[in-house]
Amino acid sequence: MKSRVEVKHTKVLSKDYNTLKKLTIAYQRENGEIQTQIREVYDKDSGAAVLLYNSKKNTVILTKQFRIPIYMNEGNRDGMVIEVCAGLLESMTPLECAKKEALEETGYAIVNIVPVFESYMIPGTVTEKVYMFIAEYNEALKVAKGGGLKEEQEEIEVLELDFETAYKMIYSSDIQDAKTIMLLQYLKIQKNCKDNYSK
C-alpha cells in the first residue's frame, strides 16, 4: 500500500500539545490514476485504556471529568464525560500506561490485566491508536485516593457502578465515550458467553 502513496509536501500548522500537519500526497487509485489529495492530520501519541471490573460484585470502575471538546459540543454544555481510565503512552508500553493511569485516576494498583484489542478512534484525521485492556479489581488493591494528578490539572471523580447499570447508560446516552462503550460491550459479550456456556 505504501508504494501507492507519495508524500509531496508536509506543512506543520501547529505544534503545541500535539502536532497538526497539512499533507499533500500523490495517491495511486486502483485504476492506476494518480490523484493529488490534501489532508490535515493530527499527529497524536497513542494511548491505553482499561476497564476495571469486579466479577464477584458485578461492578465496574469508571471516571468522570471535564473535557473541553465535549463542552464545545452543543449536546453537552457542562463538558463532563464518563470514561474508563486512559492516558497517552509517553514512551511507556501500553501495559505500563494502563497500570499507571488506573493508579493515578482511581487509586487501584491493578495486577491481573488482560489486553483485548487495539483501535484507531478517528482514523480519518488522527494518528492515535488506543490499546484496550480489562482488569480485575478488589478493595485490597485500593492503595491510593485516585482523582488524577493536580500538576496535570486533573479533577477526576471515581465511580463504582453496577455493571448492568453502567451498560444501560450507553443506551441512555449517559455514556458517550467511544472507548468506554467498546470495553463495556466487550465485557457484556464475555459475560453472555460465560453464562451461555454454564447453562
Pair 34, 61 in one domain: no
Pair 144, 54 in one domain: yes
Q: How many domains does the chain have?
A: 2
- Does 77 have pLDDT greater than 80? no
Structure confidence at residue 3 (pLDDT): 80
Structural domain range at position 17: 2-43
Asked if residue 92 lies in contact with residue 176, where contact means CB atoms within 8 angstroms, the answer is: no
Pair 161, 187 in one domain: yes
CATH of the domain at 82: 3.90.79.10
- Does 2 have pLDDT greater than 60? no
Pair 149, 63 in one domain: yes
Pair 162, 194 in one domain: yes
Structure confidence at residue 76 (pLDDT): 60
- Does 153 have pLDDT greater than 70? no
Burial class of 25 by CB neighbour count within 10 A (0 to 12, 13 to 18, 19+): middle
Structure confidence at residue 60 (pLDDT): 98
Measured CA to CA in angstroms, residue 91 lies from 22, 48, 173 at distances of 25, 12, 34
Distance, in Å, from the CA atom of 167 to the CA atom of 163, rounded to the nearest integer, reads: 6
Pair 85, 156 in one domain: yes
Structure confidence at residue 192 (pLDDT): 82
Pair 60, 146 in one domain: yes
Task: Give the global pTM.
Answer: 0.89
The x, y and z cell numbers of residue 120, run together, are 484507531
Tell me the CA end-to-end span of the chain in Å, nearest whole number. Answer: 47
Burial class of 197 by CB neighbour count within 10 A (0 to 12, 13 to 18, 19+): exposed
Pair 122, 35 in one domain: no
Across the range 115-137, mean pLDDT stands at 96
